[in-house]
Homo-oligomer: A and B are copies of this chain.
Amino acid sequence: MTQDRILLAHGSGGQLSHELVERLFLKYFDNPILARLDDAAVVRVSSFRFQVPGSSNLKAEAPNPKLAFTTDSYVVNPIFFPGGDIGKLAICGTVNDLAMSGARPLYLSASFIIEEGLSLDDLERIVVSMRQAADEAGVEVIAGDTKVVNRGSADGLFINTTGVGIVPEQIGISGSNARPGDKVIVSGAIGDHGMAIMSQREGLEFSAPLRSDCAPLNKLVAAMLEASREIHCLRDPTRGGLATTLNEFAAQSNVGILIHEGRIPIHDAVRGACEMLGLDPLHVANEGKLVAVVGEADAEKVLVCMKGHPYGAEAAIIGEVRAEHPGRVVMRTLLGTLRLVDMLVGDLLPRIC
């Protein structure tokens, strides 16, 4: 790596994050499951080889359910924001990562790193909010941990949640499954979460309110998977935004992606705030949206299914997968020109999640 110290941009979800993962974590934690870089690791329980003392290997007895496993630490600042808080985010984010692998989320762990001096009332509000989000998603928090660090050694509260789920046998979703001809669907308007955090943090006032879209998407995904077996890729465009997710799909699947600017749903308040601040909404984080790459024949059916769900009401087909320019994402702008859509580079907004 060209730097010798960690920069904020190493945590942005963009290019430096990817470099750090590839040159350090993948290098040393070298295994094919991690190397897939999907939102959740999926392992067959048959990989769970072990000898039961005095009996035969359990492997022979068991079928092969596929276990999904994902982790995220949440460091969002501020811990309360319009539309949610760090607790709701910690449940929804991990539930969504499981759902994006096609898994039915089941169990979560929750680990708290608390700065000495945090108000117990605030902590209680956050735990209540976690419970509500867990109830909505239909998951249970079954393991936990609490650490307290001295004042000045953390910033209020960090929460890690790690989740397990099971992937139904016939489902094989991965960022590497996009095929030329597939359609790209986004489940709703982009940029709400990032702009809500930014306005809250910077004390910016806009005419229309900005509100995080933070939501558990597992039930939307379950409905989509019931509607079609041609859902090839699923991912929630969090850090790095829609542009980064599409670039990940293009790279993992070695395909090109063409999107149409005029079809991308964006709320007016977000568009206005982005224009004012000189931000590209394609790079702004979401916490209640997903991007699906769907076989062409099923795309309309999946879209209709999504529109019938509260978290997919504003869904839209925004583009298609191409054989041309593999590894690249290109956007046809409102002016009719083509522009390359890059992965987020540098640091748009740290500590968004």
Contact = CB atoms under 8 A, between A and B. Distances in A.
Interface of A: 1, 3-12, 17, 20-21, 24-25, 28-29, 31, 33-34, 40-41, 43, 45, 47-48, 50, 52-53, 58, 61-63, 65, 67, 69-75, 77, 104, 106-107, 109-121, 123-124, 127-128, 130-131, 134, 140-150, 152-155, 158, 160, 162, 164, 166, 168-170, 225-226, 350-351
A130 B28 contact: yes
18 contacts: A5-B116, A6-B120, A8-B148, A11-B114, A11-B147, A20-B146, A25-B144, A48-B104, A50-B166, A62-B65, A63-B63, A69-B143, A73-B111, A73-B113, A75-B153, A147-B158, A153-B351, A154-B154
A164 B164 CA distance: 9
Contacts of A111: 71-73, 160, 162
Contacts of A107: 41, 43, 69
Contact of A149 (B11, B119, B121, B130): B11
Give the number of copies in the complex: 2
Q: Interface on chain A toward B: helix, strand, loop, or mixed SS?
A: mixed
A18 to B, nearest CB: 10
A102 to B, nearest CB: 11
A130 B31 CA distance: 14
Contacts of A143: 34, 40-41, 69-71, 162
